[in-house]
């Protein structure tokens, strides 16, 4: 019985401690039960929804981080591709310029050759024309010389010879003159 008396005394002493502190032990037990019910209700209905929302946010944040990393990698790849395309475009432009210079040089050479050929043709045509003109002038001079010789011979002989006799006489004079 000692235990019961000690428990009763302890209960009375506890009652005294709670009352000394201004706490009603029956109200405290009721509040503890209410708190436990509240924790159970929150654990059953509120915390799962809250944790689901937190998990979704965490998932969204991780996806956004992955997407940002992927976008950054894509941007780096795009930058590398752009640099490569730019280098290729510069090389093609240099090739085009070199080709254009070669073609321009070829065109200049071809034009110079054509101009030289045309000039040589013009000179050759001019020489041929001059030769024709010289031959024509020689024939005319020859014909005029024959006429003058015939005229001079007629004056010297004082009589007119027929054309056959004139030509024979002129031919003989020319042979002697050579």
Confidence of residue 173 (pLDDT cuts 50, 70, 90): confident
Q: What's the total number of domains in the chain?
A: 1
pLDDT in tens, 44-60: 999 999 999 999 999 99
Confidence of residue 151 (pLDDT cuts 50, 70, 90): confident
Q: Are 178 and 170 in contact (CB under 8 A)?
A: no
For the cut 90, the answer to whether the pLDDT of residue 176 exceeds it is: no
Domain-embedded: residue 21 = yes
Domain-embedded: residue 15 = yes
DSSP string, 74-119: HHHHHHHHHHHHHHHHHHHHHHHHHHHHHHHHHHHHHHHHHHHHHH
Domain-embedded: residue 176 = no
pLDDT in tens, 76-128: 989 999 999 999 999 999 999 999 999 989 999 998 899 989 999 999 998 89
Domain-embedded: residue 161 = no
Buried b vs exposed e over 97-122: b needs ≥16 C-beta within 10 Å? eeeeeeeeeeeeeeeeeeeeeeeeee
Q: Which has the closest alpha carbon to 151: 172, 176, 177, 169?
A: 169
Domain-embedded: residue 146 = no
Domain-embedded: residue 7 = yes
Domain-embedded: residue 132 = no
DSSP string, 137-172: HHHHHHHHHHHHHHHHHHHHHTSPPPHHHHHHHHHH
Domain-embedded: residue 57 = yes
E strand or H helix at 70: helix 47-157
List the domain range (segments joined by +) for residue 26. 2-125
Q: What is the mean pLDDT of the chain?
A: 84
């Amino acid at each position: 019985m000692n235990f019961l008396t000690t428990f009763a005394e302890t209960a009375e002493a506890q009652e005294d401690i709670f009352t000394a502190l201004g706490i009603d032990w029956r109200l405290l037990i009721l509040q503890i039960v209410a708190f436990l019910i509240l924790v159970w209700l929150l654990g059953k209905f509120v915390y799962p929804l809250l944790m689901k929302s937190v998990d979704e946010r965490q998932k969204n944040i991780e996806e956004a981080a992955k997407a940002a990393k992927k976008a950054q990698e894509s941007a780096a790849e795009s930058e590398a591709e752009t640099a490569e395309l730019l280098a290729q475009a510069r090389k093609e432009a240099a090739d085009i310029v070199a080709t254009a210079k070669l073609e321009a040089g070829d065109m200049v050479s071809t034009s110079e050759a054509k101009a030289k050929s045309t000039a040589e043709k013009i000179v050759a045509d001019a020489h041929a024309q001059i030769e024709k003109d010289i031959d024509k002038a020689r024939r005319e001079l020859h014909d005029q010389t024959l006429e003058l010789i015939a005229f001079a011979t007629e004056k010297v002989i004082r009589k007119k010879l027929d054309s056959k006799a004139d030509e024979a006489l002129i031919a003989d004079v020319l042979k002697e003159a050579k």
